[in-house]
Chains A and B, each alone.
Chain A
Amino acid sequence: MSALKIKKGSTKHSAYNLRPNFSDVQERHTLALIVDNEPGVLARVIGLFSGRGYNIESLTVAEVDHTGHLSRITVVTTGTPQVIEQIKAQLGRIVPVHEVHDLTVEGPSVERELALIKVAGKGDDRVEALRLADVFRAHVVDSTLESFVFQITGAPDKIDAFAELMRPLGLIEVARTGVAAISRGVH
Chain B
Amino acid sequence: MVVQALKDQGVDTVFGYPGGAVLPIYDEVFQQNEIRHILVRHEQGAVHAAEGYARSTGKPGVVLVTSGPGATNAVTGLTDALMDSIPIVVLTGQVPTFMIGSDAFQEADTVGITRPCTKMNWLVKDTKDLSSVIHEGFHVATQGRPGPVLIDIPKDVQFASAEYTPPAKADLGHYQPRVKGDMETITELVEAIETAERPVFYTGGGVINSGPAASQLLRELVEATGIPITSTLMGLGAYPASGKHWLGMLGMHGLYEANLAMHGCDLMINVGARFDDRITGRLDAFSPHSRKAHIDIDPSSINKVIRVDMPIIGDVGHVLEDILKVWKSRGRKVNREGLQKWWAQIEDWKAVNCLSFKNDGPGIKPQYALERLEALTKGYDRYICTEVGQHQMWAAQYLGFEDPNRWMTSGGLGTMGYGFPASIGVQIAHPKSLVINVAGEASWLMNMQEMGTAVQYMAPVKQFILNNERLGMVRQWQELLHGERYSHSWSEALPDFVKLAEAFGAKGFQVSDPDKLDDAIMEMIEYDGPVIFDCLVEKHENCFPMIPSGEPHNKMLLGEASTKDAIGAKGAVMV
The listed residue (B120, B278, B302, B481) touching A89 by CB distance below 8 A is B302
Flag whether B375 is at the interface (Cβ < 8 A): no
Chain A neighbourhood of B480, CB < 8 A:
2-4, 6, 11
4 nearest interchain CB pairs? A5-B571, A89-B300, A20-B283, A95-B120
A90 adjacent to B300 (CB under 8 Å): yes
> Looking at A9, A20, A21, which has the most chain B CB atoms within 10 Å of its CB?
A20
> Looking at A4, A89, A92, which has the most chain B CB atoms within 10 Å of its CB?
A4
The listed residue (B282, B303, B555) touching A18 by CB distance below 8 A is B282
User: Which residues of A pack against B, CB within 8 Å?
Assistant: 2-7, 9-11, 13-16, 18-22, 36, 39-40, 43-44, 47, 51, 82, 85-86, 89-90, 92-93, 95-96, 98
> Could you show 26 A-B contacts with beta carbons less than 8 Å apart?
A2-B479, A2-B480, A3-B479, A3-B484, A4-B480, A4-B572, A5-B571, A11-B480, A11-B549, A13-B550, A15-B252, A18-B284, A19-B283, A20-B286, A39-B123, A40-B115, A43-B112, A51-B116, A82-B307, A85-B303, A89-B303, A93-B300, A95-B140, A95-B175, A96-B173, A98-B174
Flag whether B573 is at the interface (Cβ < 8 A): yes
Q: A21-B284, A40-B115, A93-B298 are in contact. List 8 more A-B contacts (CB 8 A).
A: A10-B548, A18-B284, A20-B305, A39-B123, A86-B303, A86-B304, A95-B175, A98-B174
The listed residue (B112, B298, B481, B573) touching A5 by CB distance below 8 A is B573
Chain B neighbourhood of A3, CB < 8 A:
479-480, 484
Flag whether B551 is at the interface (Cβ < 8 A): yes
**A82–B277 Cα gap in the complex (Å)?**
17
Question: For chain B residues 173-221, which have a beta carbon within 8 Å of chain A?
Answer: 173-175
**A118–B283 Cα gap in the complex (Å)?**
52
**A4–B477 Cα gap in the complex (Å)?**
11
Chain A neighbourhood of B282, CB < 8 A:
15, 18
A82 with B120: in contact, given A2-B481, A14-B550, A15-B277 (CB under 8 Å)?
Answer: no
Chain A neighbourhood of B302, CB < 8 A:
89
B119 adjacent to A89 (CB under 8 Å): no
The listed residue (B123, B145, B281, B557) touching A15 by CB distance below 8 A is B281
Chain B neighbourhood of A4, CB < 8 A:
479-480, 557, 567, 571-572
Flag whether B96 is at the interface (Cβ < 8 A): no
**A21–B288 Cα gap in the complex (Å)?**
12
Chain A neighbourhood of B174, CB < 8 A:
98
| Chain A contact residues, majority secondary structure | loop
B479 adjacent to A18 (CB under 8 Å): no
**A18–B573 Cα gap in the complex (Å)?**
20
Q: Which residue of chain A has the shortest Cβ distance to B572 in the bound complex?
A: A4
B-side interface residues, number (CB < 8 Å)? 46
**A90–B301 Cα gap in the complex (Å)?**
9
A92 adjacent to B300 (CB under 8 Å): yes
A6 adjacent to B115 (CB under 8 Å): no
**A93–B278 Cα gap in the complex (Å)?**
24
Flag whether B299 is at the interface (Cβ < 8 A): yes
Chain A neighbourhood of B112, CB < 8 A:
43
Flag whether B306 is at the interface (Cβ < 8 A): yes
B567 adjacent to A11 (CB under 8 Å): no
A5 adjacent to B300 (CB under 8 Å): no
Question: For chain B residues 75-120, which have a beta carbon within 8 Å of chain A?
Answer: 111-112, 115-116, 119-120
The listed residue (B173, B278, B283, B483) touching A2 by CB distance below 8 A is B483
A14 with B479: in contact, given A40-B111, A89-B299 (CB under 8 Å)?
Answer: no
**A7–B573 Cα gap in the complex (Å)?**
8
B567 adjacent to A47 (CB under 8 Å): no
Chain A neighbourhood of B120, CB < 8 A:
95-96
Q: Distance (Å) between the CB of A102 and the closest chain B CB?
A: 14
**A15–B140 Cα gap in the complex (Å)?**
33
Chain B neighbourhood of A36, CB < 8 A:
173
Contact indicator per residue, chain B 278-315, by CB within 8 Å of chain A (1) or not (0): 10011110100000000000111011111100000000
B300 adjacent to A11 (CB under 8 Å): no
Chain B neighbourhood of A43, CB < 8 A:
112, 115
Q: Which residue of chain B has the shortest Cβ distance to A48 in the bound complex?
A: B116
B140 adjacent to A92 (CB under 8 Å): no
Contact indicator per residue, chain B 252-293, by CB within 8 Å of chain A (1) or not (0): 100000000000000000000000011001111010000000
Chain B neighbourhood of A93, CB < 8 A:
144-145, 298-300
**A168–B252 Cα gap in the complex (Å)?**
61
